[in-house]
A and B are shown apart, each in its own frame.
Chain A
Amino acid sequence: MKADTRSGTGDPMDGFDTTIHAPNRLRICALLDTAGEAEFAVVQEQLDVSASVLSKHVTVLMEAGYVEQRKAVRNTRQRVWLRLTPGGRQAYQAHLAALRAIVGP
């Protein structure tokens, strides 16, 4: 999506989001935006981070209302599935638009 056409009003830079911009949080958002929903262990493996680091970033994103989790049992063990909320998806797309605006044409 082109930055300056994402919204008919306002500066694309308005979408720059410091909560999302932290590298691991941005990668989490990118993964969840592409996958739709992903298991915690898969996110951890794809991003090559420890469970505690991922958990910390997911907590921040959940507190911002950008990510939600769903718990499901698999092979008698509880698994956590993560996905972007509609607000989270919108914020991520707005942040992408801001990054593209920074890069320029």
Chain B
Amino acid sequence: METDEAIRPTPQQARATLAELERVQASTAALSATPWPRWFATVLTLYIAAIPPVYGGMTASTQWLLPKSAWSTVLVLATAGYLALFAFAAATWRKKTGVALRLDVLPKRATLPLAIGLPALLIGAVVAFRSTGQPAWLFAASGIGAAVSIAFHRAFVRLHRKTA
């Protein structure tokens, strides 16, 4: 690491440099905040919406609509399909934007409650279904999960427009 008193900037120059760096960072952040394509946002929403009924069917104390093995097969197929589409969407996204895919672009105050709340909602609904036998819990969690997914996609779109 070199130091050289002769080239050290004045406070005004340092302030201007920091301002320029903020501009570069904002411009780069706009690229990183590029939202998923609408088709993948739809896939993600459908996958989230499918989790409560499928997981509920798998763990129901008595058979619900389908045999448990059929629910397990649906879950495995849906997850494999989702992961394959995620890998494809991520690769396409990277090619389109030219920057690394980052999942920490949205503010933590939004993502942290989601990271805790969404799994709690999806699993909690399954637990409530097992306890009460009421499938309404599953469908309610499905609907809320889908709404949250759509809301986050819209948040990304807004953030991208705002920072672009």
Contact = CB atoms under 8 A, between A and B. Distances in A.
Interface residues of A, number: 34
A86 interface: no
Interface of B: 1-4, 7-11, 14-15, 17-18, 20-21, 24-25, 27-29, 31-32, 95, 97-100, 102
A27 B26 CA distance: 12
Contact of A102 (B8, B28, B102): B8
A37 B99 contact: yes
Cβ-closest 7 pairs across A and B: A42-B98, A36-B100, A39-B98, A37-B100, A102-B14, A34-B28, A35-B99
B6 to A, nearest CB: 9
A90 to B, nearest CB: 10
Main secondary structure of the interface of A (DSSP, over half): helix
B33 to A, nearest CB: 11
Given A16-B3, A74-B95, A99-B18, A34 B25 contact: yes
Query: Quick one: which of A13, A39, A102 has the most chain B CB within 10 A?
Result: A102
Contacts of A35: 28, 31-32, 99-100, 102
B99 to A, nearest CB: 4
A33 B25 CA distance: 8
